[in-house]
Structure 1
Amino acid sequence: MCTAAEWDDFRATGTRRPVNFDADGFVHLSTRDQVHLPANRLFGGREDVVLLHLDPARLGAEIRWEPGVPTDPDSMLFPHLYGLLPADAVVAVTPYLPGPDGLFGTPPLP
């Protein structure tokens, strides 16, 4: 997930290198059932967010399932991509809008 403007930049450069990549060493990813957690932390109330639907076979780097941040449920593991995210791994892009309360929920299937 990112803003529509970030997606435009991502397509132009061919890879996504999040600002926290050097510190974390990976790209934070989410499943459909957990994406609302980081969306609400990072983009609460914003209406310019898009979901990037990925083909795991095109990622080209290791994915590890690891804990998120301390406020996430204890048993929840998030996929972390230990490499840059290639634009050609994105197979669909859909708008991700918050509800009337400004909060994101589980997105519909694409």
Structure 2
Amino acid sequence: MIYHIAFASDWEKAGERGEYRLSTKGRTLEEQGFIHGGTAAQVAPVANMIYGSDEGLVVLAIDEERLSAPLLYDDAPGWDEPFPHIYGPLNTDAVVAVLALTRGADGKYEFTPPEG
């Protein structure tokens, strides 16, 4: 399972089209060349670094086996583990759950994937 942070409103629009084409905050797939993803451990750090002051976020749980676009793990400067990147549109049927992205008592985003 990989994850992607999205604005809930953008994800709703994707459902109408059958595909999601946003890479990250303020950048499309076409501008970036891929859609940013992350492992469960990468979600909260990225959420706090990129989306710290934003609200209305969800986490898309993506089944890699269902992706129609290529998935590659790329190194990123300053990170120990590579990040999963989707090199094409995200087909909405690869998203198996839409999860809440919540803040802890300190105001920072926290993420714990559901078990199972």
What is the TM-score normalised by the length of structure 1? 0.84
How many residue pairs match? The answer is: 107
Cα RMSD for the two superposed structures: 1.7
What letter corresponds to residue 29 of structure 2 in structure 1?
F
What is the TM-score normalised by the length of structure 2? 0.80
Structure 1 moving runs of 4+ over 6 Å? none
Superposed displacement of residue 86, structure 1? 0.7
Unaligned residue ranges in structure 1 (runs of 5+) = none
Matched, 1:82 2:90: no
Q: Percent identity?
A: 35
What letter corresponds to residue 7 of structure 1 in structure 2?
W
**Pair 2,10 (structure 1): closer, same or farther in 2 beyond 3 Å:** same
- The structure that is strand-richer by fraction is 2
Q: Within 5 Å, give how 1:1-110 maps onto structure 2.
A: 1-18=5-22, 19-68=27-76, 70=77, 72-73=78-79, 75-109=80-114
DSSP-derived class of the 2:68 partner: coil
**Pair 108,56 (structure 1): closer, same or farther in 2 beyond 3 Å:** closer
